[in-house]
Amino acid sequence: MPFIECHIKSGLTHERRERLIRDIIQVTHDSIGSDPKIINVILHEHPAENISVSSRINGEDFKRSVG
């Protein structure tokens, strides 16, 4: 029973979140053959300021603190 968690930036519309979940279910089914009825997906939405990707904070390169 696949259990998939996705952490994303908040702001997607209800329709886009639903499409994302459906796409994740479909690609999981296509990739490993799981019955869609047993594929579980949870989206966790976070404010952009709470996310750092590749050490970038709010889109800016990481800057070391002095001291």
Q: What is the CATH number of the domain that holds 12?
A: 3.30.429.10
Checking if the pLDDT of 5 tops 70, the result is yes
Considering the entire predicted model, what is its pTM?
A: 0.79
Residue 59 belongs to a domain? no
Residue 7 belongs to a domain? yes
The domain total for the chain is: 1
**Alpha carbon distances (Å) from 3 to 9, 27, 34:** 20, 13, 11
pLDDT for position 67: 64
Can you read off the two tokens belonging to residue 8? 């994303």
Report the DSSP beta bridge partners of residue 43: 6
pLDDT for position 25: 98
Q: Which domain holds residue 18?
A: 3-51
How far is residue 4's CA from residue 35's CA, in Å, rounded to a whole number?
14
How far is residue 17's CA from residue 25's CA, in Å, rounded to a whole number?
12
Residue 8 belongs to a domain? yes
| Alpha-helix residue ranges (DSSP H) falling in 1-67 | 14-32
Residue 63 belongs to a domain? no
**For residues 44-56, average pLDDT:** 88
